[in-house]
Amino acid sequence: MSARRAPELLVESLTYRPSGWATRLNPGVKLAFAAEAVALTFMAGSWIQEAALLAGLIALAAGSGLMRRMAGALTMGSSFSAIIFVLDILGGSPITSSLMSALEFANFMSYASLLFMITSPEEIDDVMRRVGMPPEISFVLTAAVRFVPVVLRDALSIYDAQRARGLRLSRNPVKLLRSSMPLLVPLVVTSLRRSEGLAEAMEARGYMRPRGSEGIREYSFRRADAMFISAFTALGALLLVAPSMADVLPLIIR
């Protein structure tokens, strides 16, 4: 995979596109799935459980037709997971503990990518408002989710432009920081200009969504939503209980 191709895949893995059965799920179910996945990652007691959770997330992406788009998150996650594993080993941690830390990061990247691919920023905003979150905080979080892929695309465009002008990034950390300034400065300036434009547009339109407003969209809880969250909850419980059952079963058989 080329150096250019990997960032493009990462942008694609963080972009919402309304296609596939998973995007039609109730937004509350999607956020509940993400929260449950976070809880399972923290509650897992071994690297085998972490690996099983990662395999389940990959299977879910494949079943939703999102596996190709999720490749960027998996590529980035595996790269950083390898770094975490090596650093833990060099720090004196056991291999199993290091492997567990690496898989935890890969899991975080995977379900964050899944959530962004199947949930639109508007849906996230509606759910947060309906659970009582202040509209100011809800808007900030939604805007952040919306602009992550945009900033990444800006970074790719700036990188291509600077490479055309002869920019070469060094592998030396000190020189890398210095040579990255032609990338960071335009990216910060572009982001600030976009933020200023957004603020002016909101002010010109008199934006202020009243507290208690739940939006104009109506979301129904359908059978597919119940089946999805029930199946994921059951699999998660089985994942946590299986190691304990493996220790108890021989005693029961005796």
> Of the segments 27-31, 68-72, 193-197, which one has the largest average pLDDT value?
27-31
pLDDT digits (tens, 9 = 90+) for 146-177: 787 788 888 888 888 888 888 777 666 666 67
Q: How far apart are CA 142 and CA 126, in angstroms?
A: 10
pTM of the model: 0.71
Residue 253 pLDDT greater than 80, yes or no: no
Asked whether 159 and 165 are in contact (CB, 8 A), the reply is: no
Residue 188 pLDDT greater than 80, yes or no: yes
Q: Would you say the C-alpha torsion 194, 195, 196, 202 has a positive or negative sign?
A: positive
Q: Among 29-33, 131-135, 170-174, 184-188, which is the least confidently predicted range?
A: 170-174
Q: What is the pLDDT of residue 211?
A: 55
* Mean pLDDT value across residues 37-64: 83
Angle 35-40-43 (CA atoms, 0-180°, nearest 5)? 125
pLDDT digits (tens, 9 = 90+) for 64-112: 888 877 877 777 778 888 888 888 888 888 888 888 888 888 888 888 8
